[in-house]
Amino acid sequence: MASDSPRRPSRCAGGVLVRAQAATEQSYMESVVTFLQDVVPQAYTGAPPTDEKEKIIWVRFEKADINDTARNPEFLEMHNGTSEPPLCLMIGYTDGMQVWSLAGEAQELFSVRHGPVRAARILPAPHISPLKIDSFADKRPLLGVCKSAGSSGTSPPYCCADLYSLRTGEMVKSIQFKTPIYDLHCNKHILAVSLQEKIAAFDSCTFTKKFFVTSCYPCPGPSLNPIALGSRWLAYAENKLIRCHQSRGGACGDNAQSYTATVINAAKTLKTGLTMVGKVVTQLAGTLPAATPDEEGTPHSASRRSPHNPGVVTIIDTHSVGEGQVLVSEDSDGEGVVAHFPAHDKPISCMQFNPSGMLLVTADTLGHDFHVFQILTHPWASSQSAVHHLYTLHRGETEAKVQDMCFSQDSRWVAISTLRGTTHVFPVNPYGGAPCARTHMSPRVVNRMSRFQKSAGLEEIEQDPIPGLSSSPSGSPLHAKLSSQDSYNNFTNNNMGNPRLSPLPSLTVVLPLAQIKQPMTLGTITKRTGKAKPPPQISPSKSSGGEFCVAAIFASSRSWFISNSNMKREKDQSRQSVVDSLYILSCYGNLVEHVLEPRPLSTAQKISDDTPLELSTCPRACWTLASRTPQWNELQPPFNSNHPLVLASDLVQYYQCLLAAMPPGSPGPITRHESSDSLASDHSGQEDEEWLSQVRLHLNQ
Q: What is the pLDDT of residues 14-56, one digit of tens each?
A: 688 999 898 875 555 555 555 555 545 444 444 444 457 788 9
Give the pLDDT score at 14.
63
pLDDT-based confidence at residue 331 (cuts at 50, 70, 90):
confident
> Looking at residues 574-598, what average pLDDT do you find?
88
67 vs 86: CA distance, rounded Å: 6
Least reliable range by pLDDT among 317-326, 376-385, 487-496, 656-665: 487-496
Give the pLDDT score at 52.
75
Whether 184 and 201 have beta carbons less than 8 Å apart is answered as no
Give the pLDDT score at 669.
41
Give the pLDDT score at 682.
40
For residue 576, pLDDT over 90 is answered with no
> Looking at residues 444-459, what average pLDDT do you find?
70
Residues 6 or more apart whose CB falls under 8 angstroms from that of 339 comprise 247, 313, 314, 315, 375, 377, 382, 385, 387
Residues 6 or more apart whose CB falls under 8 angstroms from that of 154 comprise none
Give the pLDDT score at 699.
39
> Looking at residues 554-567, what average pLDDT do you find?
74
pTM over 0.85: no
Least reliable range by pLDDT among 358-372, 458-472, 495-509, 592-606: 458-472
Give CB contacts under 8 A, 24+ apart, made by 258-266.
258/397, 260/397, 261/368, 261/397, 264/397, 264/398
Give the pLDDT score at 277.
63
Give the pLDDT score at 486.
37
Give the pLDDT score at 239.
93
Whether 157 and 116 have beta carbons less than 8 Å apart is answered as no
pLDDT-based confidence at residue 318 (cuts at 50, 70, 90):
very high
Which DSSP helix (H) or strand (E) runs through 622?
strand 613-624
> Looking at residues 168-186, what average pLDDT do you find?
95
For residue 655, pLDDT over 50 is answered with yes
Q: What is the distance of C-alpha 588 from the center of its chain?
A: 20
Give the pLDDT score at 581.
95
pLDDT-based confidence at residue 230 (cuts at 50, 70, 90):
very high
Q: Which three-class secondary structure state does DSSP give residue 481?
A: helix
> Looking at residues 431-445, what average pLDDT do you find?
91
> Looking at residues 337-366, what average pLDDT do you find?
96
From residue 42, how far is each of 52, 309, 546 by CA, in Å? 11, 47, 18
More confident site: 403 or 558: 403
* Mean pLDDT of all residues belonging to the chain: 76
More confident site: 506 or 21: 21
Give the pLDDT score at 270.
58
The letter for the amino acid at 407 is: F
DSSP 188: S
Most confident segment among 254-268, 272-286, 303-317: 303-317
More confident site: 186 or 445: 186
